[in-house]
Amino acid sequence: MYAGSTIFTQIMDLLPWRRFQTCVTRYQGDYKVKTFKCAEHFRVLAFAQLTYRESLRDIETCLRVMGSRLYHMGIKSTVSRNNLSKANENRDWRIYADFAQILIDRATLLYANEQLAIDLKSTVYALDSTTIDLCMSMFPWARFRKTKSAVKLHTLMNLRGSIPEFIHISDGKMHDVNVLDLFVPMPGAFYVMDRAYLDFERLYILHQEKAFFISRAKTNFKFKRRYSHEVDSSTGVQCDQTILLSTYYTAKKYPEPIRRIRFYDVDRQKRLVFLTNNFELPAAEIAALYKSRWHIENFFKWIKQHLRIKSFFGTSENAVKVQIWTAVSTYLLVAIMKKELMLEQSLYTILQVLSLSLFEKMPVLEAFSKKYVPVQNNQRCNQLTLFD
């Protein structure tokens, strides 16, 4: 019989707790705190994310049932709604944001050799945002519309392994294009984005920093064609042009040539027009890089479906940001766990297994080594069906 620690303890041991404590010290998170310190607070919120808890009462009830095992899970204080509520309100959200960045750096190294849509040595990023709707009466600080509140999750994702390397949380009013001012471009990297980020003054800054951008063109886009390149129509590329911006102000903001590619997507039956400052890659590969942008859409869909970032345990700005950063850290933990333990299962499957086995005392690899047998339908022939 296995007499070791629980699966929850084993996966928590994968985290760099010394570096977490460095983040806590930086923002004095445990200053004058005698019980329920930041490390315990993080463990409880990670448990809530891994097991799909819906509320503070839900968390309290589940952990009290396991009271005899909490000490060995690293939770030495009493877990109550009052403790959790105060911690969500008072613990600086930057502690959890900085710790998530540490996990991002670790995950980026683990997934550095993942394959892209094309054979390319450069780093490729997808930039996008997702909106999380909130109730106006409960979250007045996140005003979005006259009768609606929301927060935006601006994300810069490394497409090698779908690792979010930069995240900015804002209220719903912040326009997507403003996030281009918040990160430092990496020379030689590709930044793939949709039309919401088409600001030629900011794109020219990317160009001056020796970075490449790939974006969609707007319908009212005006330009002058300098010359056209030969294309292979069998790849879906209809034209490949070198252009100059024709309107006065846009030409002043971006005075150099831009590459314009018109591509027909057979699957979607749609014509797409791309703008880029890269003149070396074939036009079909530019289109393939833009198509790989769907990974960031899947990331947003995944965290909204499988983590708790749509219903919150607190209503203050600090509580919301603490929960979102903890959810991001949980996603990164599962991604790190998949690589370091060399698990073959998908992130979704790993999360599902963990949600049902956190308190089991067995080696964590054993939980993922069993073969899953689909449940067979043993319904008797004389059993009436509930629905036709």
Give me the percent of the chain exceeding a pLDDT of 90: 66
Residue 340 scores a pLDDT above 90: yes
Residue 3, pLDDT score: 59
Residue 147, pLDDT score: 85
Q: What is the pLDDT of residues 33-53, one digit of tens each?
A: 888 999 999 999 999 999 999
Q: What is the pLDDT of residues 139-156, one digit of tens each?
A: 999 988 888 899 999 999
Cα angle: 302, vertex 307, 310; to 5 degrees: 95
Residue 386, pLDDT score: 39
Instruction: Tell me the chain's radius of gyration from C-alpha atoms.
Output: 24
Residue 161, pLDDT score: 87
Mean pLDDT, the chain, whole residue set: 89
The model's pTM is 0.88
Q: 215 or 379: whose pLDDT is higher?
A: 215
User: 3-state SS of the chain: helix, strand, coil percent to 5?
Assistant: 45, 20, 40
Residue 376 scores a pLDDT above 70: no
Q: Provide mean pLDDT across the span 101-110.
A: 94
Q: What is the DSSP string of 166-226?
A: EEEEEETTS-GGGGGGSSPPPTT-EEEE-GGG--HHHHHHHHHTT-EEEEEPPTT--EEEE
82 CB-contact burial (10 Å; exposed 0-12 / middle 13-18 / buried 19+): exposed
How confident is residue 369, by pLDDT bands cut at 50, 70 and 90? confident
Q: How far apart are CA 246 and CA 223, in angstroms?
A: 5
Q: What is the pLDDT of residues 10-35, one digit of tens each?
A: 999 999 999 999 999 999 999 988 88
| The residue to which tokens 């009013």 are assigned | 173
Whole-Å CA distances, 211 to 123, 206, 208, 271: 10, 5, 7, 26
Q: Provide mean pLDDT across the span 80-90.
A: 92
Q: 1 or 360: whose pLDDT is higher?
A: 360
Q: Provide mean pLDDT across the span 72-87.
A: 87
Cβ-Cβ contacts under 8 Å for 106 (sequence gap 6 or more): 16, 332, 336
How confident is residue 240, by pLDDT bands cut at 50, 70 and 90? very high
Residue 319 scores a pLDDT above 90: yes
Whole-Å CA distances, 108 to 113, 119, 163, 304, 342: 9, 18, 7, 22, 16
How confident is residue 4, by pLDDT bands cut at 50, 70 and 90? confident
Residue 377, pLDDT score: 44
| The residue to which tokens 């200053």 are assigned | 31
Cβ-Cβ contacts under 8 Å for 188 (sequence gap 6 or more): 122, 123, 210, 211, 212
How confident is residue 379, by pLDDT bands cut at 50, 70 and 90? very low
Element (H, E) at 97: helix 93-110
Q: Provide mean pLDDT across the span 248-268.
A: 92
Q: Provide mean pLDDT across the span 365-385.
A: 55
How confident is residue 384, by pLDDT bands cut at 50, 70 and 90? very low
Q: Provide mean pLDDT across the span 240-269.
A: 93
Q: 266 or 3: whose pLDDT is higher?
A: 266
Q: Provide mean pLDDT across the span 299-310.
A: 89
Q: What is the pLDDT of residues 269-289, one digit of tens each?
A: 899 999 999 999 999 999 999
Q: Provide mean pLDDT across the span 174-198.
A: 94
